[in-house]
Amino acid sequence: MARTDARSHAATATRCFTPAAQRSLLGWAARELRVLPWRATRDPWAILVAELMLQQTQVARVAPRYRAFLARFPTPAACARATVGDVVTEWAGLGYNRRAVALHRCARVCVEEHGGALPAALEPLHALPGVGPYTARAILVFAFERDVGVVDTNVGRVLARMRGAPLAPAQAQAAADAAVPRGRAWLWNQALFDLGALTCTKRAPACARCPLRRSCAWRRAGCEAPDPAVGSAGVSGGQSRFEGSDRQGRGRLVDALRARGHVARAALAAAAGWPGDAPRARRVAAGLVKDGLAASDGRGGLRSA
């Protein structure tokens, strides 16, 4: 049944994205596509770095860190030779520091198992540390220009609104794959990214200037509630509150390690921003050690990994 549904939605996507709709979106992209540093390369390692940095982090914050990171770690081998602490330090300002640890592990696997390069097939890419289905497909498209679709939160929103109904994960992926014009996957996927980011936005979609407005089922229905993008595959539901969270304390401890290289047990609570809650600071510090972001100093404190 699931395969039948996926084929049905893929066929629906093909009807929605007619050749005329495809030409309209690609023409829009030729005029409106953002100039971003990771769009000027087909280097698989640089694409991977960008994709991991862009997870849950805004483009404006990523661009300068992306350039600096690649200047220091231009290849998987350069990253693999560094310590985890070096990589985490270069990740400063991006948050979600476990991504930096995963990237370091990925670089080592590339060196040890793939001759210092990223593989060019879906399954071995997906097997790399920190590389999920989305990232593996993004590398295939943006580095190797394979004709597959990539479903992030922006693309998922566009697909659901074009269909006029929420999509399950397999259905969204099938629809994204079916919509790709042969030989144009790189530009097509970038166009969908930017359409969702700039025009088909979450709260105030600019339907009047959307190049797909004539093909969009949700617009033809008058954009009535509920929005089909809500709960649809790939569409994020928003992040939990950061202020006062464990994530905030983790970030503060990682920043302290970047600055000092060591945080003694007695200083953990203050460094985490919870001077009156030492047990919570110790629990969060233990999580950093477990995730590979820090090492224990053997006395209850932390040191750089």
Phi then psi for 216, rounded to 5 degrees? -85, 115
DSSP codes joined into one string, 104-137: HHHHHHHHHHSTTS--SSHHHHHTSTT--HHHHH
What is the C-alpha separation between 223 and 211, in angstroms, rounded?
16
Considering the candidates 51, 112, 145, 243, report the single residue annotated as catalytic.
51
**248: its two tokens:** 């905030």
Secondary structure of 180-247 as H, E, C letters = CCCCCHHHHHHHHHHHHHHHCCCCCCCHHHCCCCCCCHHHHCCCCCCCCCCCCCCCCCCCCCCCCCHH
Q: Is 51 a catalytic residue?
A: yes
In contact, 227 and 218? CB cutoff 8 Å: yes
> Hey, which residues are catalytic here?
51
